[in-house]
Chains A and B, each alone.
Chain A
Amino acid sequence: MNIPIERGKVVTVARGQSTSVAGFSLSKGLGVVFRHWRRAWFEKQHQNVPATASESAPNAGNDKSKPTAFVTLEDMSKSYGTFTVEYPEQRIKLPEAYRNMPVLLYDDETGHELCTSCFQCQRICPPQVIHMTQAKDPASGKPVPSVAEFIIEYDACMSCGFCAEVCPFDAIKMDHEFELSTHDHPSLTVYKRDLNRPVSYYESIAPGFWAEARERAYKKLATNMKRRPGAIGIAPHLTEKITAAQAQAAQAAAAQAPAAKAPAKKAAAPRAADTAAAPTDKEAKLAAIRARNAAQKGGSAPAAGTAADAPLPTDKEAKLAAIRARNAAKKGGSTPAAETSAEESPPTDDKAARLAAIRARNAAKKGDATPSEESDQPAAETPPANDKAARLAAIRARNAAQKATEAAEQAADSATSTPEAPASSSEEGKPLDEKAARLAEIRARNAARKKGDQE
């Protein structure tokens, strides 16, 4: 074997020599171990880092009662002393570059999300776990640089960080939160509501990275905000707050927008009720009153307040609300679309109620994302003081349903053509408005494909 080697040489490793006294080398090993044993009593290799408030807040973990100390390994030359970190109490300070799962950013002040649904991340994602739909202007039906729904399947995400890397708007970033283990597998499919993080949070975990991106991100956001009508693009859980502040202006501008309405069903959405984003009952009532007022005032004018789907706490109430909604729909006149929807929607048992709850939650999210759409729900929920409001709502529902007939038929076609998912499609494909119809269509197609894949 003559392989020429430049710069450096071939060295033959020296094999061990037998020491004169057998067992002597064993004692050397014992000595090494003993030194470690002795010094591990007094020394530690990690140094403490004083935890600032911003650092301890996001990473404090589940048990907030115990203080968290951050440690770091600045001096890497030490070989002695305890090396381990006592985890829940002590944590290694995560470097700025650390990436775990992707999250979405929104601006603290305006509540506007940075994401414009440009689909870059969806395209680059190696395991294809990012899904999004683009928001649409309810007035014109044209796409808006904002995202209606954004879903990341955390369970299949490989944390490669490509999405954050390619995002031209710095809207998707890698989070530092790593304690994500759960018993609830479906909860690992994360929706926009739970993906949203304020910019200030990201700034606290990665100040250097954000400083680099800040200027261009805000510049692009300012441009995009101009193209977002109404409350589109505002983080859902802030919608209430921000739209309440803008209520007057929204009411003034309300006359032009056509009425759109949400399905005649809603229910208790435990998860939604749990989240801070869910409006309280009081708020819901308030919003309902506002909606009714607006309806009375402007006839076909939509209310700016969007208390679309105030979640109800129990199944019973869900059923009640559904029945009431059906009644309202019947009273208002029976267009076929409205009838079918009304007949399908009332939950007849717990299971149906739960189904209705899930559907309502989805609708709630949708409604949150496009807050200018409002519904007759408030009227139905809080028993109408006069029949007029209910009738108005019903009329509005009928109008919307008629408008969406075409799309609905399309959706129904695609749904019925996939016999594997008739239930879901007939439920979900209910024509509400164009957007819902499109969504239903997509969902039905996905379900069909999924079924097909399984087979």
Chain B
Amino acid sequence: MADVINHVLNTMLGLNAPEWLIIFISNSIAVTLIFAIAPLQMLFMTYFERRAIARMQDRLGPNRVGPKGIFQPVADGVKMFTKEDIVPTAADKMVHLLAPCVVAAPVMFMFAVIPWGPGMYAVDLDTGLLFFFAISSVSAVGLMMAGWASYNKFALLGAMRAVAQMVSYEVPALISIAVIVMLTNSMSIVSIIEAQSGLFISQVDVAGIPDLGLGWFIFSPVGLLGFICFFIAALAEGERTPFDIPEADSEIVAGYMTEYSGMKFALFFLAQYLLNFLLCAITVITFFGGWQGPGISWLWSMAVSEANPAGNPIFNVLAGILGTFYFLAKTYFFFFVMIWIRGAFPRLRVDQLMGFGWKFVIPLTIVNIFSASLWIGWIRWELNPDLAFLSALGEPYSFARWGFAFVATLVMNVAAYTLMTRINRSPDETIDELVADQVFGAVTLR
């Protein structure tokens, strides 16, 4: 952003603006955009979800407010604003008020590190991924505050479930993402995306073939298993079906949101949908190349950037539009998958959720870490004489090495998956064992 501002103000207009002004302007624009776009995302996502799930159920969904019902979320928002804000008499009023803010604020912070297109980010932190997940954990505090302050047993149960679930599923989420950090040697989200340029075949440029921006990590076995585990964890983190246990409406009414109404309720809603969006976005960024796609690198090579200060800002805009399109298309596809799953499945029970997380997903992610180490080793090791046998496969980054690593890690991951399902399943147990398993929460898969 700053590059473009600098280019426009100083190079094109010759204003000779000082650096602090450029940074100030660029950051202001970025922050404004984020705060303008984030609620819009949420509005559109609620509409998108309702329409999509309605089609799955042979319905039409909201179709009255505006063309095709597109303004339904606005109407909902107006309704939320005009609703009476009810605070239970026995509630801890201060905490009750603070809780939705504590839940919603971190979600907005998380937007700071999300790149929407090439060069389109607010900040490029060196520890972007860490920041993202660290900040997302803060909302667990807010949930607990909400449940505790409401003075309602359902709310308390919901908050306990929510916190337990978020804490448990952050572990597999982070271990899955750690694989990507290993592959890219970086925790900066921008450099993770940039590492996914090239071709999926080797994630490095292949001579003679232009950069198609398809070097996505999903195309490696390590990335695939990482993606599966991460997406499951993301579903749990975002409280989506089949892991929407904290707000299981058929059991504990609305969980920690039970005693909230009006705009406070809407804030929880906002936070949840934005979190879902961000989780889809981070899935796309880490495994599906973010804004990477065919044509981006060609446009970007002509744009203003650090490497090419003499570029044309028009190409910045073009690359930005295309990149944002790729990014949003992928993100919304994953949000659609979330809706799709919601449309199809019942939810797990809380102990089954924990069992599934700790006994199935986390072991798989740990295996995936091993796979990733081997993948990196087999592809990149070159110097150590003890590993001379690897050189028989070919040069580092060569196709032969890549192929070998692919097959080996694939076998390893599939074996791990099969093994885990075998361990966790008990297909031919007797009724008494079955009942005992259910009662003690020993069943994780059927």
**How many residues on B have C-beta within 8 angstroms of the other chain's C-beta atoms?**
20
**Interchain CB contact under 8 A, A86 and B60:** yes
User: Chain A interface: which of B141-149, B339-347, B386-394?
Assistant: B339-347
Instruction: Kindly report which residue of chain B lies nearest to residue A33, judged by CB atoms.
Output: B344
User: Chain A interface: which of B49-57, B214-222, B248-256?
Assistant: B49-57
**Interchain CB contact under 8 A, A33 and B343:** yes
**How many residues on A have C-beta within 8 angstroms of the other chain's C-beta atoms?**
22
Give the secondary structure class of A's interface.
loop
| Shortest CB distance A35–B (Å) | 9
- Known interface pairs A84-B59, A86-B60. Does A29 touch B344 (Cβ–Cβ under 8 Å)? yes
Distance in angstroms between the alpha carbons of A34 and B345 in the assembled complex: 12
Q: Which of A1-36 contact B (CB under 8 A)?
A: 16-18, 21-22, 26, 29-30, 32-34, 36
Q: Which of A36-70 contact B (CB under 8 A)?
A: 36-37, 40-41, 45
Instruction: Kindly report which residue of chain B lies nearest to residue A40, judged by CB atoms.
Output: B55
Of B63, B341, B425, B427, which contacts A30 at CB under 8 A? B341
| Shortest CB distance A18–B (Å) | 4
Instruction: Tell yes or no: A81 within 8 A of B by CB.
Output: yes
Instruction: Tell yes or no: A209 within 8 A of B by CB.
Output: no
Instruction: Tell yes or no: B432 within 8 A of A by CB.
Output: no
**Interchain CB contact under 8 A, A40 and B56:** yes
Instruction: Tell yes or no: B445 within 8 A of A by CB.
Output: yes
**Interchain CB contact under 8 A, B340 and A18:** no
Of B58, B340, B344, B445, which contacts A82 at CB under 8 A? B58
Instruction: Tell yes or no: A210 within 8 A of B by CB.
Output: no
Instruction: Kindly report which residue of chain A lies nearest to residue B346, judged by CB atoms.
Output: A29
Instruction: Tell yes or no: A218 within 8 A of B by CB.
Output: no
Q: Please give, as numbers and ranges, the residues of chain A lying within 8 Å of B343 by CB-CB distance.
A: 33, 37
Instruction: Tell yes or no: A80 within 8 A of B by CB.
Output: yes
- Known interface pairs A29-B344, A32-B344, A33-B340. Does A86 touch B63 (Cβ–Cβ under 8 Å)? yes
Distance in angstroms between the alpha carbons of A34 and B344 in the assembled complex: 9
Instruction: Tell yes or no: A98 within 8 A of B by CB.
Output: no
Distance in angstroms between the alpha carbons of A81 and B421 in the assembled complex: 37
**Interchain CB contact under 8 A, B58 and A45:** yes
Residues of A participating in the B interface, judged by any CB pair closer than 8 Å: 16-18, 21-22, 26, 29-30, 32-34, 36-37, 40-41, 45, 80-84, 86
Residues of B participating in the A interface, judged by any CB pair closer than 8 Å: 52, 54-60, 63, 340-341, 343-345, 421, 424-425, 427, 445-446
- Supplied contacts A18-B425, A22-B424, 8 more A-B pairs, CB within 8 Å: A18-B446, A22-B425, A37-B52, A37-B340, A40-B54, A41-B55, A82-B60, A84-B58
Cβ contacts A to B, 30 pairs, < 8 Å? A16-B446, A17-B427, A18-B446, A22-B421, A22-B424, A29-B345, A30-B340, A30-B341, A32-B344, A33-B340, A33-B344, A36-B55, A36-B56, A37-B52, A37-B55, A37-B340, A40-B54, A40-B56, A40-B58, A45-B58, A80-B58, A82-B55, A82-B58, A82-B60, A83-B58, A83-B59, A84-B58, A84-B59, A86-B60, A86-B63
